[in-house]
Structure 1
Amino acid sequence: MGECKDLEDDLANLARLAAADSCEDTRLLLAKLVRKYRQGRPELASRLDQSLKTTQTRSAGSSVLRRGVSVSDDREILLPVDGDSRLPLIRVFDDREGLAAPILPVGVGDAIRAIIHERQESERLAARGISPTRSAILVGPPGVGKTLSARWIAQSLGKPLWVLDLTAVMSSLLGKTGNNLRMALDHAKKHAAVLLLDEIDAIAKRRSDESDIGELKRLVTVMLQEVDQWPDSGLLLAATNHPELVDPALWRRFDLVVKFDAPDAKSIAVAIERFLGEDRGLFQPWIDVLAAGFQGQSLSDVERSINALRRGYTLEVAPVERLISSVLGQNQEMLSKAERLHLAIELAKAGQHTHVQISQMTGVARDTIRKHAGPSPRKGRGLK
């Protein structure tokens, strides 16, 4: 009896996903059932496997998505468009061919992995009457990995990431913006999508903000209703650089708030090694120095600086020491006194600059550098 009940539950879940037009989830469940019944019910497993192979064959070559069209099963899903401009209301990132995991501080990384794990084990949670995280808002300054984390979540779940396109959603016509917003959200719910509302503060501002017209205030009400009613089958993500602008009532609606801070020293060092690519071995002696000098910067800023450094070295614009000095010098005003001292010590350890040069670069007194790092080298050795 127990085995029959188990089979009934599996078939019921399969039918539910198929009825919801959730093709990607249906394929994932099919693959799981093939493995589950391969020993006890080989004939059933073989038939399920044949169905799975059929869907995979039909969807072959469909991993690349175009703006306005999402290919997530054996047919094209047309994305909703604004009635006047005909611009798609949703942009698509499809990273299912592969995406490097974002570099995140430990706490943030744990939160992101927890979202993914809950979605992957949603059936186990459902068996105990528990819903996985349905919605999360990602909060932090620009360049700390909010959008990349959303793309990583979608990729880990075997789905594209849908992003609400505010330029198309926002309309000058009264009532049109709200209709566009509902159309995009309803479409995402129908297809059990991973949807990102980037810059949510633009459509969910505090209703006490007197500078906004009634139309924008009505959007907050739409958002409150949508977040409350978001189905377990989909995942709603939001991101903001300005949490102080978001209506307080919306915060309580999200299942999870993930706060992204500026990257720590360990994350910066890991990022530098990744961004250096094939030049990593060449700049290995400088990684700790660069990590100390980039304190307080976002990873996108770090990547920009490392790319400039690599270009300068490749084109032989200047010796490596001067390129390093230039890159670090641009960030000095952002460093605290303690961070400048840490940078000075790392520069002294590298042995490529005299204490006089390090003092000029960091503003730390030579006596202080000597006290923490020992005698100064006679001259910089340089990298060839």
Structure 2
Amino acid sequence: METTDAIIELEDDFANLARLAASGAVEDVRLYLAKLVRKHRTYHPEFASRLDQTLKATQTRSLGPSIMRRNGSFDSTQGAMPADADSKMSLIRVFDDLKGIECPILSQSLLGQLGTITQERKERDRLAAHGIRPTRSAVFVGPPGVGKTLSARWLAAQIGKPLWVLDLTTVMSSLLGKTGNNLRMVFEHAKENEAVLLLDEVDAIAKRRSDESDVGELKRLVTAILQEVDAWPDTGLLLAATNHPELIDPALWRRFDAILTFGLADTQGVEAAVRRYLGPSLDVFAPWIPMLVSSLQKTSLSDVERTVTSLRRSVVLQQTDPARLVIELATRNASHLDKVARRDLAIELARSGSLSHNQISEMTGVARDTLRKYAGPSPIKGRGPKKGT
């Protein structure tokens, strides 16, 4: 940080501290002092130590009501979550996975990016010695069901903290000014607690300011979010997730330290998901896993989980033959696959010996010569058994 910038930042901190002290809200002064200790610990350790000594020497009993309490906010020292003043509903959903959570099924590239963020947190002092800050913020971009929220939960657990998720259903209010207050309340609480905060579906609150359908108050809301991202401390981690990056104000992209792009799983990822979600039913479906994987290409991991769970349910409750279930799934999904995926599925069907090559060719559009080349002669001659027999 340049010397002039550092002086300006210290002046701002002092002015904010003086304002709180003048208001007589001693509890808020203590909260702000604690924030300054964390903020300046890396680059101004002696100054942070002096503030910390002052903080410990002050009395814990407030001499006046807290500004934050008067505004219907929260008491950070008691660990209470910020809540909407009218509905009293929490503005944050908490995922506490500190006891363990499975690693998300992602590409090696994405896992490497998440691992880098985790490593930076563990080696903060080493980075600080070279004047480098760890990643403070990251945005996850990708279609629904590809593991964005699960990855955020896993990342938080690796850092050793629960994940706080901004609850848009509670934060968004018909009273636009109230929405802004709710957002500021959440950001302040997260910063004070050095939290891992996820802004899920961030496109709902950070739309392009050029969108003429939005009123001025919503545009001011976007500006406020940009300022919060800029000021986010490296003691916490701010995450955002979106399915619609085209809706987000372009200025937001420049504020985030990292952009992670999530896509549909490749063949290896789909197979890993199928095996994970089969769980205790793995042995029952083992012979049909290749066909399951071929049938579920180009689908999200959440769709894979839903489909596999449905198959397991049918086997347990209806005593349905797993082979029949997988073949029916393959038949339904064949038309939705691209050329390569249809060919792979057709070959697996041919290898299973459940349908004739003629039937498979009509269903998938894959030539019988291709089936013979990769799966050998058809064990079923002719067009196979008629439907219903």
The bucket for the TM-score relative to the shorter chain is 0.7 to 0.9
**Does the CA contact (< 8 Å) of 1:21 and 1:191 recur in 2?**
no
CA distance in structure 1 between the partners assigned to 2:351 and 2:101 by the alignment: 36
In the superposition, relative to structure 1, how do residues 326 and 336 fare at CA in structure 2: closer, same or farther (>3 Å)?
A: same
CA distance in 1 between partners of 2:37 and 2:345 (Å)? 52
Distance 2:223 2:291 in 1: 50
Question: Partners of 1:200 and 1:344 in 2: how far apart?
Answer: 41
Structure 1 residue 128 corresponds to structure 2 residue 146: no
Give 1:270-285 correspondences, 5 Å limit: 270-285=272-287
The structure-2 alpha-carbon separation of the partners of 1:123 and 1:349, relative to structure 1 and needing over 3 Å to count, comes to: farther
Contact 2:291 2:326 survives alignment (8 Å): no
Q: Please name the residue that 1:229 is paired with.
A: 231
Q: Say which SS state the counterpart of residue 255 (structure 2) adopts.
A: coil
1:140 to 139, 142, 152: 142
Deviation of 1:348 (Å): 2.3
Q: Which residue of 1 aligns with 2:172?
A: 170
CA contact (8 A) 2:288 2:323 kept: no
- Structure-2 separation of matches of 1:330 and 1:240: 30
Counterpart CA distance in 2 for 1:130 and 1:280 is 47
Percent identical among aligned pairs is 60
Question: What's the offset of the Cα at 1:195?
Answer: 0.2
1:228–1:253 CA contact under 8 A, matched in 2: yes
How far residue 109 of structure 1 moved from its aligned partner, in angstroms, is 1.3
Q: 2:97 aligns to what?
A: 95
Partner of 1:290: 292
Distance of aligned partners of 1:254 and 1:20 in 2 relative to their CA distance in 1, 3 Å threshold: same
Q: How is 1:45-60 mapped onto 2 (pairs within 5 angstroms)?
A: none
Q: Hey, what's the Cα distance between the residues in 1 that align with 2:170 and 2:282?
A: 42
1:161 aligned residue: 163
Aligned mates of 2:348, 2:116 — CA distance in 1: 36
Amino acid at match of 1:168: T
User: How far off its partner does 1:372 sit?
Assistant: 3.3
Counterpart for residue 117 of structure 2: 115
Which structure 1 residue ranges, 5 or more long, are not aligned?
A: 1-17, 24-69
Residue 364 (structure 1) aligned to one of 357, 363, 366: 366
Would the aligned equivalents of 1:309 and 1:327 in 2 still touch at CA under 8 Å? no
Show the counterpart of 2:191: 189
Q: 2 CA distance for matches of 1:290 and 1:299?
A: 13
Q: Distance in 1 between matches of 2:121 and 2:354?
A: 50
Question: If you compute each CA radius of gyration, which structure gives the higher value, 1 or 2?
Answer: 2
- Structure 2 alignment gaps of length 5 or more: 1-32, 39-73, 385-389
Provide, for residues 288-331 of structure 1, a one-character-per-residue CA deviation record: whole Å limited to 9, x for no partner: 21111111100000011101111111234532222012222332
Comparing 239-248 with 78-87, greater Cα deviation is found at: 78-87
Q: Do the aligned partners of residues 234 and 22 (structure 1) sit closer, same or farther apart at CA in structure 2, a change above 3 Å counting? A: farther
Note the 1:258-273 alignment, pairs <5 A.
Answer: 258-273=260-275
Counterpart position of 2:79 = 77
In the alignment, the residues of structure 2 paired with residue 208 and residue 255 of structure 1 have an alpha-carbon distance, to the nearest angstrom, of 24
CA distance in structure 1 between the partners assigned to 2:250 and 2:334 by the alignment: 37
Are the aligned partners of 1:193 and 1:235 in contact in 2 as well (CA < 8 Å)? Answer: yes
Residue by residue over 1:222-253, the C-alpha shift from the partner in whole angstroms, topping out at 9 and shown as x without a partner, is 11101111101000000000000000010010
Q: What letter matches 1:251 in structure 2?
A: W
Contact 2:278 2:312 in 1 (8 A): yes
Count of residues paired in the alignment:
315
Match of 2:242 among 240, 243, 257: 240
Q: Give secondary structure in 2 for the equivalent of 1:233.
A: coil
SS in 2 for 1:92: strand
For 1:21 and 1:301, locate their aligned partners in 2 and report how far apart those are by CA, in whole Å.
46
Shift of 1:218: 1.1
Deviation of 1:196 (Å): 0.1
TM-score by length of 1: 0.77
SS at match of 1:219: helix
- Cα deviation for residue 346 of structure 1 reads 2.2
Deviation at 1:204, TM superposition (A): 0.2
Q: CA contact under 8 A between 1:273 and 1:280: conserved in structure 2?
A: yes
Q: Distance in 1 between matches of 2:97 and 2:175?
A: 35
How far apart in 2 are the matches of 1:94 and 1:276?
Answer: 25
Supply the distance in 2 between the matched residues of 1:106 and 1:360 (Cα, whole angstroms).
Answer: 37
- Checking the alignment, whether the CA contact within 8 Å between 2:133 and 2:234 is kept in structure 1 is yes
Q: In the aligned structure 1, how far is the partner of 2:307 from the partner of 2:255?
A: 39
How far residue 212 of structure 1 moved from its aligned partner, in angstroms, is: 1.1
1:346 equivalent to 2:348? Answer yes
1:63 corresponds in structure 2 to none
Q: Deviations over 1:191-210 (max 9, x none)?
A: 00000000000000001111
The alpha-carbon deviation at position 287 of structure 1 amounts to 1.4
Report the 3-state secondary structure (helix = DSSP H, G, I; strand = E; otherwise coil) of the residue aligned with 2:176: coil
* Structure 1 residue 21 displacement after superposition: 10
8 Å CA contact 1:22, 1:191 repeated in 2: no
Task: For 1:216 and 1:273, locate their aligned partners in 2 and report how far apart those are by CA, in whole Å.
Answer: 45
Residues in 1 aligned to 2:260 and 2:368: alpha-carbon distance in whole angstroms: 42
Compared with structure 1, are the counterparts of its residues 109 and 334 closer, same or farther at alpha carbon in structure 2 (3 Å cutoff)?
Answer: farther
Indicate the SS of the match to 1:236. strand
Q: Which amino acid is 1:292 matched to?
A: S
User: How far did residue 173 of structure 1 move?
Assistant: 1.2
1:51-70 deviation line (CA, Å, top 9, x unaligned): xxxxxxxxxxxxxxxxxxx9
Residue 239 of structure 1 aligns to a residue in which SS? strand
Deviation at 1:76, TM superposition (A): 5.0
